[in-house]
Amino acid sequence: MSSELVIVLAGAIAAGFVQGLSGFAFALVALSIWAWGLDPATAAPLAVFGALIGQLAALPLMWRGTDWRRAIPFVAGGLFGVPIGVALLRVLDPAGFKLALGLWLLVYSPAMLFAPASLAIKWGGRRADGAIGWLGGLFGGLGGMAGGIPQLWCTLRGWSKEEQRGVMQVFNIAMHTTTLCVYLAAGSIITTRTLQFAAITAPVICAMVVPGALIFRRLNQLAFRRIVLGLLFLSGLTLTASSLSHLLG
């Protein structure tokens, strides 16, 4: 087994488990490992494939928490955001956008971690949910990280872990599917090599999502909140570090 394949499988194992546990963060975990052995052109679309596979694998265990009425504004906004993100990917350096998102997560995630668990945002309604979905779709098109902003927003809303999971599951499946469709329409983003790795990692991801999802069921609300905010903070660190490294050359 080549060292490259070992790195790909290690990323799939870790990211699959974390996604099963939290409902998001596949790209965050996978790309932090795949960066050691895969070129970005292969790793980015592979992360979208893996995230979609993981969401679909968890669906039979998590579908009861789905609230379609609550999820629709996020999905509607995200569908407009993904093509814009992909278009920006072709003409702009995404490092600046990722740096802004990373710095924002570094500030707000710890603030929410120490804020009272009862704190909840009630304003904005479905329009605000749609705007957050649009931002998620934009960053999904730019780099496959559609879930960060919507997940934080769901936490700020004060929803239960089941309500958050139900919304994010529908949103992420829609965003990853849309992103892959736009990639396929572009014609040059998804390569044969990416498809080969996707086929190899799919069963591994499915196998790891299940134990993560079963542990999710046993978490209380406070533990889930801490895991989500911790992962979002880690996402901010990763985005900030990688963006600064790129911008500084």
In the block, tokens 């927003």 appear at: 153
pLDDT score for 12 = 94
Q: What is the pTM of this model?
A: 0.82
pLDDT score for 191 = 83
Rounded CA-CA distance 83/241 in Å is 26
Q: 19 with 31: CB under 8 angstroms?
A: no
Structure token digits, residue 58 = 């968890």
**Helices within the chain (DSSP H only):** 3-22, 26-34, 40-62, 68-91, 95-114, 125-143, 148-156, 161-186, 192-218, 221-247
Buried b (16+ CB within 10 A) or exposed e, 122-158: eeeeeeebbbbbbbbbbbbbbbbbbbbbbbbbbbebe
* DSSP for residue 89: H
Q: Could you list the pLDDT tens digit for every one of the 249 residues in the chain?
A: 688 889 999 999 999 998 888 887 788 788 878 877 787 778 888 988 999 999 999 888 777 767 788 899 999 999 999 888 878 777 766 667 677 777 877 877 787 777 666 667 777 889 999 999 999 998 887 767 787 789 888 888 888 888 888 888 899 999 999 988 888 887 777 888 889 999 999 999 999 999 998 998 888 888 888 888 888 788 788 778 877 877 776
Q: Give the contacts of 55 (CB within 8 A, at least 6 positions apart).
A: 19, 169, 172, 173, 176
Q: Give the contacts of 36 (CB within 8 A, at least 6 positions apart).
A: 7
Rounded CA-CA distance 185/147 in Å is 23
Q: How many domains is the chain partitioned into structurally?
A: 1
Q: Which domain holds residue 44?
A: 3-247
Q: 227 with 22: CB under 8 angstroms?
A: yes
pLDDT score for 39 = 79
In the block, tokens 């790209």 appear at: 27
pLDDT score for 249 = 66
pLDDT score for 143 = 66
pLDDT score for 25 = 79
pLDDT score for 198 = 93
Structure token digits, residue 179 = 């992103």
CA angle 95, 174, 184 (to 5 degrees): 65
pLDDT score for 131 = 95
In the block, tokens 């504004």 appear at: 73
Q: With the C-alpha atoms ordered 8, 13, 16, 19, is the resulting torsion angle positive or negative?
A: negative
Rg (CA), the chain: 17
